[in-house]
Amino acid sequence: MTAPSAVKAALTTQSIETPSWAYGNSGTRFKVFAQQGVPRTPQEKLQDAAQVHRYTGVAPTVALHIPWDTVDDYADLAAYAGDLGLRLGAINANVFQDDDYKLGSVTHPDAAVRRKALDHLLTCVDIMDATGSRDLKLWFSDGTNYPGQDDIRARQDRLSEALAAVYERLGDDQRMLLEYKLFEPAFYTTDVPDWGTAYAHCLKLGEKAQVVVDTGHHAPGTNIEFIVALLLREGKLGGFDFNSRFYADDDLMVGAADPFQLFRIMYEVVRGGGFTSEVAFMLDQCHNIEPKIPAIIRSVMNVQEATAKALLVDRDALAAAQSAGDVLGANAVLMDAFNTDVRPLLAEVRQEAGLDADPMAAYARSGWAERIVTDRQGGQQAGWGA
Ligand code: AOS
Ligand code: ZN
Ligand code: ZN
């Protein structure tokens, strides 16, 4: 096993970004169950994010979603975040919500719609300039529902053209993270359906274009850690949208459905030298039926637990077993780390940082949940599902 002191030191360098939309009401296409006390403004979402950071100590940044987090002055919002001990993180563009986008956004057959979508993406870079955000996260709902509906190759050309225009606009320290998703809302073709398509576009664009892996965006049984290993090897893994899936893009709490998969992913991150600020660890989740702030605290802890286990893998013993062709021995090294209860170690990490050993309990005791129910009336929906 790797020395606990080295694991603890590494854990203190990790930060996990929480998404503004996870603090708002969300649901399915069947029903949004409104919760009491949810934020009404971007500022209130930041207040809730500050609670997550306060009790975990590792969630200092918050991803915004435009237009759900539209404000008059983004520099002011960044200053407000600063006052709460936070920074603004990735800017998530939204080119999927308007009627105009029925047949696509940047891949739409009509040039006027493509222009509108591109203008939104460029506006998002303006916002990044004001917020000091490094990353623009691009997810396109673009695709088709029926064979023959549109030309698959032409849509790739249109996508490529838009991405190049956005890339051109990026500042020296800014990046674009291209997200892929197998299907939904398009059911026949999706224009960025898999890591290979995202990788091909990013490779052509240059170093500032990186692939983002949303753990919920794959077919059942996909070996996500293989994709992670490969992208890291190629220097093209920009970050993660963490969440859990049972069936499709369920957006449940990361590590809830398959903690072993999360461990395997984090092991490849550690193994591939991806445990740096170049790989953004972001959550992309919705909390439809569970209380939101505790769910986000739990999610952050789940990522930390998987990371601690990945850091504990005895890499020398693993390499020795692998080169000796000792199949069961190598597997045992990995499983030993996975089966270690890292909760006491994480409790120590927190106490050494001056935090409560148990973030869930500390938040529950804080009275914040009761306070927001009293103070906030008419909470805002995150953005979808009305
Ligand atoms: C959509 O399925 C994606 O996961 C995106 O990351 C999306 O922008 C995010 O869920 C916020 O809507
Ligand atoms: Zn996502
Ligand atoms: Zn998604």
How far, in Å, is the centroid of ligand 1 from the Cα of 145? 20
Mean pLDDT within 259-266: 98
Smallest CA separation from ligand 1 atom 8, residue: 139
Residue 385 has what pLDDT?
A: 43
Q: Which atom of ligand 1 is nearest to the CA of 181?
A: 2
Q: Is the CB of 21 under 6 A from ligand 1?
A: yes
Q: How far apart are CA 8 and CA 2, in angstroms?
A: 10
Residue 4 has what pLDDT?
A: 84
- Classified as helix, coil or strand, 156 is helix
Structure tokens at 386: 């009305």
Q: 231 in the Ramachandran plot: left (φ > 0), alpha (ψ -120 to 50) or beta?
A: alpha
pLDDT tens digit sequence for 159-192: 999 999 999 999 999 999 999 999 999 999 999 9
Ligand nearest to the CA of 216: 3
pLDDT tens digit sequence for 63-96: 999 999 999 999 999 999 999 999 999 999 999 9
- How far lies 310's CA from each of 25, 252, 270, 327, 329, in Å? 33, 22, 7, 19, 17
Place of tokens 């999706």: 190
pLDDT tens digit sequence for 108-155: 999 999 999 999 999 999 999 999 999 999 999 999 999 999 999 999
User: For residues 240 and 215, is the Cβ–Cβ distance under 8 A?
Assistant: yes
How far, in Å, is the centroid of ligand 2 from the Cα of 56? 22
Question: Per-residue pLDDT for 382 more than 80?
Answer: no
Smallest CA separation from ligand 1 atom 7, residue: 139
User: For residues 279 and 18, is the Cβ–Cβ distance under 8 A?
Assistant: no
Give the whole-number percent of the chain exceeding pLDDT 70.
Answer: 97
Q: Is the CB of 181 under 6 A from ligand 1?
A: yes
Mean pLDDT within 252-265: 98
How far, in Å, is the centroid of ligand 2 from the Cα of 184? 12
Mean pLDDT within 298-322: 98
Among 92, 120, 140, residue to substitute to test ligand 1 (most atoms within 8 Å of Cβ): 92
Mean pLDDT within 210-221: 98
Among 69, 137, 284, 381, residue to substitute to test ligand 1 (most atoms within 8 Å of Cβ): 284
Instruction: Give the distance, in angstroms, between the CA of residue 244 and the centroid of all CA atoms in the same chain.
Output: 11
- What are the extents of the domains in the chain? 4-375
> Tell me, what's the ipTM?
0.96
Among 241, 250, 287, residue to substitute to test ligand 1 (most atoms within 8 Å of Cβ): 241
How far, in Å, is the centroid of ligand 3 from the Cα of 1? 36
How far, in Å, is the centroid of ligand 3 from the Cα of 251? 7
Smallest CA separation from ligand 1 atom 3, residue: 139
Question: DSSP secondary-structure letter at 381?
Answer: B
Q: How far apart are CA 131 and CA 230, in angstroms?
A: 32
Instruction: Give domain 4-375's CATH superfamily.
Output: Divalent-metal-dependent TIM barrel enzymes (3.20.20.150)
Mean pLDDT within 296-312: 98
**pTM of the shown model:** 0.97
The angle, 0 to 180 degrees and rounded to 10, between the axes of the packed helices 292-312 and 327-338 is: 140
Mean pLDDT within 310-329: 98
Q: Is the CB of 179 under 6 A from ligand 1?
A: yes
Residue 383 confidence class, pLDDT cut points 50, 70, 90: low
Q: Which atom of ligand 1 is nearest to the CA of 249?
A: 2
Give which of 191, 202, 219 is closest to 166, Cα–Cα. 202
Whether the bond between 185 and the residue before it is cis, its omega within 30 degrees of 0, is: yes
Question: Per-residue pLDDT for 384 more than 60?
Answer: no
- Classified as helix, coil or strand, 231 is helix
How far, in Å, is the centroid of ligand 1 from the Cα of 9? 32
Q: Is the CB of 249 under 6 A from ligand 1?
A: yes
Among 26, 91, 97, 139, residue to substitute to test ligand 1 (most atoms within 8 Å of Cβ): 139
Residue 386 confidence class, pLDDT cut points 50, 70, 90: very low
Q: How far apart are CA 313 and CA 308, in angstroms?
A: 9
Mean pLDDT within 230-245: 98
Question: Per-residue pLDDT for 257 more than 70?
Answer: yes
Mean pLDDT within 301-306: 98
